[in-house]
Amino acid sequence: MVEAAVRSGARNTVTWANACHRLVMAVPGPVHSVNSVTPHRLIRDQEAVLVTGSQDVLELLGPVGRPGKALAREHRPLDVLEADELAVYEALPARAALAAGELSLRSSTPLPLTLGILDALEERGLVESTPGGRWRIVPGAAQGRPQLNLTPEETPE
């Protein structure tokens, strides 16, 4: 389980998986996110095993006693963000743009700080401002692979 709010169908699925003696894994998320409540509770109550990446999953699913193939831990751009920066970034919706004032409210950071953070995130290539003065996430940038919006003339050969 990656994300699930308190009242979610995913919680019911976990109950059934545990009743069927199936392994349940949960990925911890930001402690202030409502979508992290259920995975955190499952981990705390030992109804799910904490996993933080593919190596953990491979180790749990692989043959007992045989170490999984070591995978290189990749660095993601969000790993180095400070708490305030992460709060502002996570306040942005996945497919829409918001004004800085709305981001300030959603992230509980003062507006001047929010504006500074947005500038810093833009320099890192994680967010971009729109012509209307709103801010949005650069698709794929959080995974280290931003999508290029190229015109046909700019398409690489």
Cα–Cα nearest to 93, from 140, 127, 137:
137
Query: pLDDT confidence of 153, banded at 50, 70, 90?
Result: very low
CATH classification for the domain delimited by 77-143, as one of 3.40.50.300, 1.10.540.10, 3.40.50.720, 1.10.10.10: 1.10.10.10
- Domain coordinates of the chain in residue numbers? 9-61, 77-143
- For the chain, the residue count is 157
pLDDT in tens, 32-50: 888 888 888 889 988 899 9
In order of 8, 63, 65, 145, the CA distances from 137 in angstroms are: 26, 40, 42, 13
Query: pLDDT confidence of 18, banded at 50, 70, 90?
Result: confident
Per DSSP, 17 falls in state: H
pTM, rounded to two decimals: 0.50
Amino acid at 131: P
